[in-house]
Structure 1
Amino acid sequence: MLAYLSIITLATPPIWSQDAGPPPLGRQVITAETLRSAGVRRLSDILALVDGWDISTINGFTWEASPRGLSSFGRPTWAVMLDGQPVDLDIFGVRSLERLPVSLGQIDSVVILSAPAVHNGQFVEGGLIHIHSRRPGRGLSIQAHVATASETGDPGPYAYTGRATPNVDRVGSDVSGQVLFGGSTLSAVAGALWREHFVTNRAIRERNRDISTDKHPIIKQAAASLQAGWGMGGRRHELYLGRSWIRDYYFLKAFGREVPVESPLTQIGLRGTLPLSGVTGLRYRAVYSVNELDQHTNSLNLDFDWQLSRWRAELEAWHDRSSYRFVLGAGLAGTSAETGYLLSEDGFTTVNLYGELIYRPRVTMSQSLAFHVTSADGALGVKTALAHRRRIGRRHAVEAVLSYFERIREEDSRIWYWVQRGYAFLSDNGVEALNAGELGKTRTVAGDARWMIRFNREVSARLGGYYRWFSGLSLEEQRFEFEPSSQSFSGPVRLVPNRRGQLAGGEIALSWALRELRLLLFYRFQDVVSGDQLFKRTWRTVPRHRLRITALYTPWESVGLWSRLQYRSATRWADYQEAAVQTGGAYSQYVDNAVTLDIAAQKWFWERRVRLHLLFRNVFNDAVPYHPIGTAYGLTFMVQGEVLLDGL
């Protein structure tokens, strides 16, 4: 059992009017202005702003998330959507937001769901990150963004070259641009970006020194996208085309080390709304994506030789009245793998049926029942969520969500589904993979409850709790040993099925706004209460305590100061216990607790057409890792510049 307590940051809207409905307490909206104030530079930085979600990284480019006890690191169940279209970013259970071909300048807002629900045809059992793009105004607009960062205190990637200079530890650049056009019936946005991320951590460089043909490990990304929308008379159709290419040092935990790869992602999506009357209509969605792990030249000739194609199509009908709303839809989805390894099955098709009924007996109350049924290869997964929301007077609101969901093996994005069908990359490269049983159906019961109180226009608070019960989990058990010759890790990995455990917890949220100053507080406690040993080991990688205090001061419309003080408790990664002993403490199975302070300043010029932003991250300059074999960051400064030219 995992206990969980958090104080969650809240925006401060006006006091609810008498005719306002109950607010969605499990929903967080992060606006573009918030992203700018916080110095968010890349999509993965958004994860650090999400209430109740824990994060971890090895190289500082790819970040993992654990959303409020719904899933652990390495077993992602949270979903990503872009303007209502699902985005398949997974490669063997590694879900990196950076693979999405979208720059921050294209974002209008990010909506976070942290409780199970049906959303745009998907049952988001592990939460949702829904990115909403900036809509073009009338005429032509141009946006450009450039950012760079440097970590102080170490010699950096040029230490052994003629370009060596002091205080240059991490030099990277992010450049992006968009052209937007808005007309009466047609709108379009074309964007492109280029990123570089220098891998300067000494341990990571040592692990890749002999395998990589690059003199200095650099993660590079190039991406382009096109969005177009057209419609009239209430009808709307939207097309999305995106292509992202990353030269990455891909870390697969079961393999124990990074592998140089070329990782392209291609996605095509189409969606539309067709009103049939003032209260009834149809919606459709169609998405096709291709994820690849191609070889990048390396001395060991490692090649994942992997391409995964996914497609899905959905059609739903909706009917909306003042007292109720009903949605019913059906969909098909297909997955196919292409590889040089001989697979017993190279794909599967799933059939989905879903719906939601929202009943509003009065303006201050709503109740909803959602369901989602998935069928593939004779297996059936049933997912349901029952929610009750109510506003009590002008100052109180309550929300309760009870859900039950089953996850069939075809929904497990990790490598093990394909290993059991003949994908032999691990065994061909010396990893002993032991399966104690086939992947099976997992079952989860989740309960969430929240109460919100607004004391006055300036101060609000929120209390809540949740409960999770898991059964049928398939968890990895691995004992890494250190290999001095390659500076990497190896060891047999065993997939253990039918694990179970329970999670429970609560949350508190505080917000205080006074004219130019806003203070936000977040605290969380989390711990394992019951479950078998492997379940407990898995959840000890997530911090028990987390504290965050955020302040935003805006003395003038064109000037903003932002700061964030954070604390997170230590974690234990038992898979590295033997390696810690073998290296004499150079590596550890523990990640120490950490206190960090970030400070930023922002200035707008030329009637908010030009923006400059300076961020100092980890002002205390204590090395802060998120993973026992990952990068530890000291004081880092980041500079950003942005140009917005609208209505040309």
Structure 2
Amino acid sequence: MKNIFQNLAVIFLLTFCTVYSQSAGEIILKRTDLKLFPILRLSDIYSILPQIDLYTLDGYHHTSLRNNLFEQTPADITILINGVNTDFGFLDKVNLSQLPLDPNSIDSIVIKYYPVNYSGNYSAGVLIDFITKELPEDISFSLSYSTGNETGDPGPYRYTKYFSKNVDQFGPNTSIISSYGNNNFGLSLNFIDQVSPATDEAILMRTPNFIFQNYQVRYSGLSVNSYFRNNKSQHSLFTAFSKTGQPLIGYVYGADIYFDDNLSTEIPYQSQDIYLVSGNKILLNDDDIISIDLNFKHSSAEQSKLSNDYNFKFDNLLINSKAGFKSSVGVINYFAGLSFEYQNLDSKSDGINHRRNITSFFASFDFRTTKKSKHTIDFNLRKEKRTSAFFSNITSLFEIDNQNLFMFSASLGNMYNRESLSGHLKNTGQFSFDNDTIVSYHKAHNKLSYLFNFDYNYKQNNTRINSGITCFDDNGLNYILNDFNYNDQDRIIENNSQKLFADIGGSRCGFYFGIGHRFLKEFEGRFYYRYEFNLTGDEIYKMLMKRIPAHKVFYLLTYQPAEDLYGSIAFTYLSSSEWIEYRDIGVALNDLYKSKLSQKFLIDFSITKNLWKEKIKVSAAIKNLLNNRIQYHPVGGTFDLTFYLKVEVNFNSVLKI
């Protein structure tokens, strides 16, 4: 019966393909998009972003599939708030679930998933910019509470195919917001408390010596978001304090976990982070703008107080300042400036202090050659000690008529990493946990890599079509091939060998096609298909790219029969993938670990009801409706059918001022 339903669903997708409003390498999620499905944590937005390739082991931490593959690949995901970089993350990974920003504070989200210069910020991988919304002109209060449970619980799931022995509860997740706003000033206070389970059988089977008290990860965050503006200037300030391990409120300890790709295991840790993110614009006149951005981050991290397996303790300081000038000369609009980064990592466990200074110059030029053609040229030049690197891009848009738009872009450069000092040192073997035996990288020549994109957009009435092809040519890459296997007696994952592949490269292309269509007033459909393939390259390069599913199909159908009632159903298909470093990982017991991950078909359903003039919002969601085996990493957990419930209470105009 399940197979029949799957086949009918696939036929439905292919015959009624109806997407995201996006340009090449860019997606913009608006507030209306975000309200159509419940967001328990910010990382839930990934479920409607099929353009981004990620993996997760526990459903709480998400990592780019291309992260850590090569020395020169990006340090995961770059997070911005109102166009200002935050340096958010731990070591070389970014857990969006723990960004101390409530979804209700967001007006829109800009996502860039190709290498890009964005407002003077360079990103080699995925860049996400959260634009916060203007606050209502009064004092407001909001409270949200969400939780969920998996098929491991007794009850209606008892006889499902993938019933597991563990009992998982997702959450509870609690968020409290209080805000005040007027025409010139806004202030928002936000407290977030999260609980995430660490009880999946796949994780516990290979971490017997790690003590997860109550088998959960505890996270708390407190943030203040404010803005001030007048006729001459605009200012925004985001400050936050976050903590993992011992929560800000409560007594139950729950260490966070960091998955070390070189050890293929979770490392429990506790941390404290302080963020200050400030964006400032001075309006000289209608055309000339001076922008000054500053972000400050201080992070302290150490091994979990309940674990002595991996001994580490460090303080990490990052300061990033950026100044730019926006103006025009004739038909050319430009934005140019300088940025300076200071990073200081004090590794108290080994008594070593590392410092890093990076200076960058950036510029972007926009101009038109005709009324229907627009061009952008931008570049970024970075210098650190005696080394330098650059990235440059040119984009041309040709508007054939009001319905048809063509775009071509080309990029080249040898600048890849933009990461914290701790992540940089770890990826180059200069900083590691005890027992982490990663070999050091050899330095490759700074060879150029290229990116080409052809994109077509068609828009008519309620229908929009987007398609194109993107090609990458990677050169001068370094890779360390691990050989992991599972030791059943000791219940740990071991690394049999490490082999260095230096100065490798290859070329790959991806074709994408999307349609967005609104019909019958209450319905809207969004379809996306992506096919990626290798053209040329070293054999090891081709094998590494197999971890990324070649085919990806996504369809989101939303339905809003009334102003206070709406729902959505999302279909996701991923073709099989293979991880070469886990070629010897096979475990006979329940086929728990595997290097070749089978294809995945996932159906998620949600419904939301507003009550009492939207003062109360109740959302329910079911993920993996068919209860298929869903596994994104060879040694990661499987995600069975899961039910979520979220309740929000919103009070505006509590006290009119």
The verdict on a shared fold, with TM-score over 0.5 as the criterion, is: yes
Once residues 547 and 313 of structure 1 are traced to their aligned partners in structure 2, the CA distance between those partners, rounded to angstroms, is 41
Query: Structure 1, residues 241-283: CA drift from partner, whole Å, max 9, x if none?
Result: 1122123121111122111111332211222110112211200
Q: Which residue of 2 aligns with 1:141?
A: 140
Q: Which moved more, 1:33-42 or 1:249-258?
A: 33-42
Among candidates 302, 311, 335, match of residue 327 of structure 1: 335
Shift of 1:53: 1.1
Q: Does structure 1 conserve the Cα–Cα contact (< 8 Å) formed by 2:314 and 2:349?
A: no
Q: Which residue of 1 aligns with 2:248?
A: none
Q: Which residue of 1 aligns with 2:9?
A: none
Once residues 394 and 464 of structure 2 are traced to their aligned partners in structure 1, the CA distance between those partners, rounded to angstroms, is 26
Among candidates 627, 630, 637, match of residue 636 of structure 2: 630
Shift of 1:155: 5.3
Q: Which residue of 2 aligns with 1:235?
A: 233
Among candidates 300, 303, 307, match of residue 311 of structure 2: 303
> Secondary structure of 2:202's match?
helix
Once residues 290 and 263 of structure 1 are traced to their aligned partners in structure 2, the CA distance between those partners, rounded to angstroms, is 11
> Secondary structure of 1:540's match?
helix
Q: Which residue of 2 aligns with 1:511?
A: 516
Q: Does structure 2 conserve the Cα–Cα contact (< 8 Å) formed by 1:180 and 1:188?
A: yes
Equivalent residues in 2 for 1:490-569, closer than 5 Å: 490-491=494-495, 492-514=497-519, 515-569=521-575
Once residues 320 and 609 of structure 1 are traced to their aligned partners in structure 2, the CA distance between those partners, rounded to angstroms, is 46
Q: Does structure 2 conserve the Cα–Cα contact (< 8 Å) formed by 1:177 and 1:193?
A: yes
Shift of 1:471: 1.0
Query: Structure 1, residues 110-150: CA drift from partner, whole Å, max 9, x if none?
Result: 11123333212212232421111122121211122111111
Shift of 1:603: 0.9
Once residues 466 and 354 of structure 2 are traced to their aligned partners in structure 1, the CA distance between those partners, rounded to angstroms, is 48
Among candidates 364, 369, 392, match of residue 356 of structure 1: 364
What one-letter code is carried by the residue in structure 2 that aligns with 1:565? F
Q: Which residue of 1 aligns with 2:220?
A: 222
Equivalent residues in 2 for 1:196-215, closer than 5 Å: 196-212=195-211, 214=213
Q: Does structure 1 conserve the Cα–Cα contact (< 8 Å) formed by 2:573 and 2:600?
A: yes
Q: Does structure 2 conserve the Cα–Cα contact (< 8 Å) formed by 1:264 and 1:292?
A: yes
Once residues 34 and 204 of structure 1 are traced to their aligned partners in structure 2, the CA distance between those partners, rounded to angstroms, is 34
Q: Does 1:280 align with 2:288?
A: yes
Q: Which moved more, 1:527-536 or 1:261-270?
A: 527-536
Shift of 1:298: 3.4
Q: Which residue of 2 aligns with 1:401?
A: 409
Q: Does structure 2 conserve the Cα–Cα contact (< 8 Å) formed by 1:474 and 1:497?
A: yes
Q: Does 1:244 align with 2:242?
A: yes
Query: Structure 1, residues 382-423: CA drift from partner, whole Å, max 9, x if none?
Result: 111101112211210111111112226775867563475743
Shift of 1:462: 1.6
Relative distance call for 1:450 and 1:631 in structure 2 (3 A) is same
Among candidates 463, 469, 474, match of residue 470 of structure 1: 474
Shift of 1:486: 4.1
Q: Does structure 1 conserve the Cα–Cα contact (< 8 Å) formed by 2:190 and 2:223?
A: yes
Once residues 52 and 129 of structure 2 are traced to their aligned partners in structure 1, the CA distance between those partners, rounded to angstroms, is 15
Q: Does structure 2 conserve the Cα–Cα contact (< 8 Å) formed by 1:408 and 1:442?
A: no
What one-letter code is carried by the residue in structure 2 that aligns with 1:219? V
Among candidates 288, 299, 317, match of residue 291 of structure 1: 299
Q: Does 1:448 align with 2:457?
A: no
> Secondary structure of 1:479's match?
strand
Q: Which moved more, 1:72-81 or 1:372-381?
A: 72-81
Relative distance call for 1:8 and 1:420 in structure 2 (3 A) is farther
Q: Does structure 1 conserve the Cα–Cα contact (< 8 Å) formed by 2:623 and 2:642?
A: yes
> Secondary structure of 1:629's match?
coil
Q: Which residue of 2 aligns with 1:644?
A: 650
Q: Does structure 2 conserve the Cα–Cα contact (< 8 Å) formed by 1:149 and 1:638?
A: yes
What one-letter code is carried by the residue in structure 2 that aligns with 1:575? E
Once residues 423 and 343 of structure 1 are traced to their aligned partners in structure 2, the CA distance between those partners, rounded to angstroms, is 11
Once residues 528 and 248 of structure 1 are traced to their aligned partners in structure 2, the CA distance between those partners, rounded to angstroms, is 37
Relative distance call for 1:446 and 1:171 in structure 2 (3 A) is closer
Q: Which residue of 2 aligns with 1:183?
A: 182
> Secondary structure of 1:37's match?
coil
Q: Does structure 2 conserve the Cα–Cα contact (< 8 Å) formed by 1:52 and 1:67?
A: no
Once residues 70 and 429 of structure 2 are traced to their aligned partners in structure 1, the CA distance between those partners, rounded to angstroms, is 25
Relative distance call for 1:98 and 1:213 in structure 2 (3 A) is closer
Once residues 92 and 353 of structure 2 are traced to their aligned partners in structure 1, the CA distance between those partners, rounded to angstroms, is 19
Relative distance call for 1:166 and 1:588 in structure 2 (3 A) is closer
Relative distance call for 1:527 and 1:106 in structure 2 (3 A) is same
> Secondary structure of 2:206's match?
helix
Q: Which residue of 2 aligns with 1:621?
A: 627
Relative distance call for 1:67 and 1:303 in structure 2 (3 A) is closer
Q: Does structure 1 conserve the Cα–Cα contact (< 8 Å) formed by 2:74 and 2:417?
A: no
Once residues 32 and 81 of structure 2 are traced to their aligned partners in structure 1, the CA distance between those partners, rounded to angstroms, is 19
What one-letter code is carried by the residue in structure 2 that aligns with 1:231? R
Q: Does 1:594 align with 2:593?
A: no
Q: Does structure 2 conserve the Cα–Cα contact (< 8 Å) formed by 1:141 and 1:647?
A: yes
Q: Which residue of 1 aligns with 2:27?
A: 28
Once residues 513 and 385 of structure 1 are traced to their aligned partners in structure 2, the CA distance between those partners, rounded to angstroms, is 34
Q: Does structure 1 conserve the Cα–Cα contact (< 8 Å) formed by 2:124 and 2:418?
A: no
Among candidates 11, 15, 19, match of residue 10 of structure 1: 19
Once residues 281 and 384 of structure 2 are traced to their aligned partners in structure 1, the CA distance between those partners, rounded to angstroms, is 28
Shift of 1:306: 2.7
Once residues 432 and 562 of structure 2 are traced to their aligned partners in structure 1, the CA distance between those partners, rounded to angstroms, is 60
Once residues 172 and 409 of structure 1 are traced to their aligned partners in structure 2, the CA distance between those partners, rounded to angstroms, is 34
Once residues 298 and 395 of structure 2 are traced to their aligned partners in structure 1, the CA distance between those partners, rounded to angstroms, is 35
Query: Structure 1, residues 542-582: CA drift from partner, whole Å, max 9, x if none?
Result: 11111111111111111112101111111111212222168
Once residues 57 and 241 of structure 2 are traced to their aligned partners in structure 1, the CA distance between those partners, rounded to angstroms, is 25
Query: Structure 1, residues 194-229: CA drift from partner, whole Å, max 9, x if none?
Result: 000112211212333332152x32011100101121
Q: Does structure 1 conserve the Cα–Cα contact (< 8 Å) formed by 2:475 and 2:504?
A: yes
Q: Does structure 1 conserve the Cα–Cα contact (< 8 Å) formed by 2:455 and 2:466?
A: yes
Shift of 1:33: 3.2
Shift of 1:341: 4.8
> Secondary structure of 1:624's match?
coil
Shift of 1:183: 2.4
Once residues 363 and 125 of structure 1 are traced to their aligned partners in structure 2, the CA distance between those partners, rounded to angstroms, is 32
Same amino acid, percent of matched pairs: 17
Once residues 69 and 31 of structure 2 are traced to their aligned partners in structure 1, the CA distance between those partners, rounded to angstroms, is 27
Among candidates 393, 398, 406, match of residue 390 of structure 1: 398
Query: Structure 1, residues 274-333: CA drift from partner, whole Å, max 9, x if none?
Result: 011221120000111123431212343422323321111111111147943111101111
Q: Which residue of 1 aligns with 2:321?
A: 313
Once residues 73 and 97 of structure 2 are traced to their aligned partners in structure 1, the CA distance between those partners, rounded to angstroms, is 17
Q: Which residue of 2 aligns with 1:435?
A: 440
Once residues 72 and 115 of structure 2 are traced to their aligned partners in structure 1, the CA distance between those partners, rounded to angstroms, is 18
What one-letter code is carried by the residue in structure 1 that aligns with 2:193? W
Shift of 1:359: 0.3
Q: Does 1:117 align with 2:116?
A: yes
Once residues 574 and 23 of structure 2 are traced to their aligned partners in structure 1, the CA distance between those partners, rounded to angstroms, is 28
Relative distance call for 1:291 and 1:539 in structure 2 (3 A) is farther
Q: Which residue of 1 aligns with 2:93?
A: 94
User: How many aligned residue pairs are there?
Assistant: 621
Q: Which moved more, 1:340-349 or 1:94-103?
A: 340-349
Q: Does structure 1 conserve the Cα–Cα contact (< 8 Å) formed by 2:72 and 2:417?
A: no
Q: Which residue of 2 aligns with 1:59?
A: 58
